[in-house]
Amino acid sequence: MVNLQATSLKVLNNQLYVLDQTVLPQQEIWLHCQSVPAMVQMIQGLQLRGAPAIGIGACLLLAVLAEAGESRAGLQQAALTLRAARPTAVNLMNAIDVMLAALGQADYRQACITAAEALFAEDVALCQRMAELGAELVHQGDRILTHCNTGGLATVGIGTALGVIRTAHQQGKNIQVWVDETRPLLQGGRLTAWELEQQHIPYHLICDNMAAMLMAQGRVDKIFVGSDRIAANGDFANKIGTYNLAVLAHYHQVPFYVVAPYTTVDPECATGADIPIEQRAAAEVKGVAGAFGQLCWAPEAAEVYNPAFDVTPASLVTGWVLDTGVFNQQQIAAGALNRQPG
C-alpha cells in the first residue's frame, strides 16, 4: 500500500495513524491504529471525526489489514463492524459499501487496497472542486460565519465549508471569519480556530448564542456549513446548532449555504425525518474534557438530552455546494440530488 498523508490521517509503511482531535489545539498526538475495535473507539470518541474523514479512515484500516494478510471473511466482518460505528454520517456507509464490493473480487486483498487508495484520492479531488465552486460565491471583504469543523481535519482534502473559506482567502478576497465555538464539544473553538491559524486566515471566535446579534448588526454576509447526511429533498443533518443558524439567517436574510460532496447525499432518505440522529453521552453537556483535563459544572444527577446533530429543512437553504455544482431550491425540488454520481 502506498504512503498517504492528510491533516488527520496518514499511512506510513503500511501502518495507519490518526491525529487525536480530542486534545487539539494544545497537543498534536498521532495514534497508531492497528485494529477494528481501536478504530471504532476512535470514531465514537471523536479522536477521528468529520463525515468524509471517518469513511476514509475506516477504509484505510481495511486496506492495512488486507496488506497484512487478513482473510476475506475477516475483512468482511471488519467492514460491517466499522460501517455501524456512527449512525448519522452516511459517508461512512457509502465508503464501506465500496470496500465490500471490492472484497467480493477474486483478488480481494489487492482490490481492497486499490479501492481505499482511490477513495482517498477521490475525497481530495471532491474537496478541491467544492472549494472552487463555493469560492465563486464569496465576494471581496465578506464576513463569513461557520459552524463546527469542516476543514482538513474532517476530510482528507482541504475540507468542505472550510475549504471554501480557505480558497477564498487564497484568492485574496480579504475575508473575515466568525467561528461558532460549537457546543457542547467545541469543535469550532478548538479545531476550526486551529486550522484557520494554520492557514493565517483572520477570524474571531464567538459563542454560539452570539450569532443572532451579529446578524442583526449586519456583520455577517454569508454562512457556510458542512453536512453529515443530505436527504433527497435537500434537508440535511449537521452538527447540533446548524438549524439555529439557518433560522436566524432566514430571518435576517443572510445567504446560507451547505457544502458537501456527493458521498454525503443519501437518496434512500426521502426527507430529513428519515435521517437517524445519534444521541451522545450526558457527560458532554454536563462538563468539558480535553488536553487540559476534565471539569463537571452540572449536578451529577442532571438529566441530559444530547443529540449530536440537528436537521435543517431545505426551505431554509440558499444553495447546496456539491462537487458537481451549486444548486438552488428549485433545482433540488426538481430532483437534482438524485442525479449525483455514486
CATH assignment of the domain containing 18:
1.20.120.420
One domain, residues 45 and 156: no
- 266 and 317 in a single domain? The answer is yes
Cα separation, 332 vs 342, whole angstroms: 17
Residue with cell 474523514: 53
> What is the per-residue pLDDT across 8-41, written as a single tens digit (0 to 9) for each?
999 999 999 999 999 999 999 999 999 999 999 9
Same-domain status, 158 and 110: no
pLDDT of 290 above 60: yes
User: Do 284 and 187 fall within a single domain?
Assistant: yes
156 and 53 in a common domain: no
Which of 13-17, 60-64, 123-127, 291-295 is predicted least confidently? 291-295
Closest among 307, 339, 336, 332 to 317, alpha carbons compared: 332
Do 230 and 330 sit in the same domain of this protein?
A: yes
**Residue where a domain terminates, one of 85, 108, 127:** 127
**Residue at a domain's end among 127, 145, 171:** 127
Is 228 a known active-site residue? Answer: yes
Task: Count structural domains, the chain.
Answer: 2
Q: Do 174 and 320 reside in the same domain of the chain?
A: yes
Q: What is the CATH number of the domain that holds 163?
A: 3.40.50.10470
pLDDT reported for residue 288:
86
Question: Are 151 and 107 part of one and the same domain?
Answer: no
| 3-class SS string, 37-77 | HHHHHHHHCCCCCCHHHHHHHHHHHHHHHHHCCCCHHHHHH
Same-domain status, 117 and 165 = no
Q: What is the pLDDT of residues 181-209, one digit of tens each?
A: 999 999 999 999 999 999 999 999 999 99
**Range(s) of the domain holding residue 177:** 129-339
Whose cell is 476534565? That residue is 294
Q: Are residues 233 and 106 in the same domain?
A: no
Question: Does position 298 have pLDDT exceeding 90, yes or no?
Answer: yes
Examine the fold and report which residue of 127, 143, 168 is the final residue of a domain before the chain moves on.
127
- The predicted structure's pLDDT at residue 157: 97
pTM: 0.95
Q: Are 115 and 190 in a shared domain?
A: no
Q: Assess whether 303 and 160 both reside in one domain.
A: yes
Query: Which residue among 123, 228, 266, 323 is the active-site one?
Result: 228
Burial environment of residue 3 by CB neighbours within 10 A (0 to 12, 13 to 18, 19 or more): exposed
139: DSSP letter: P
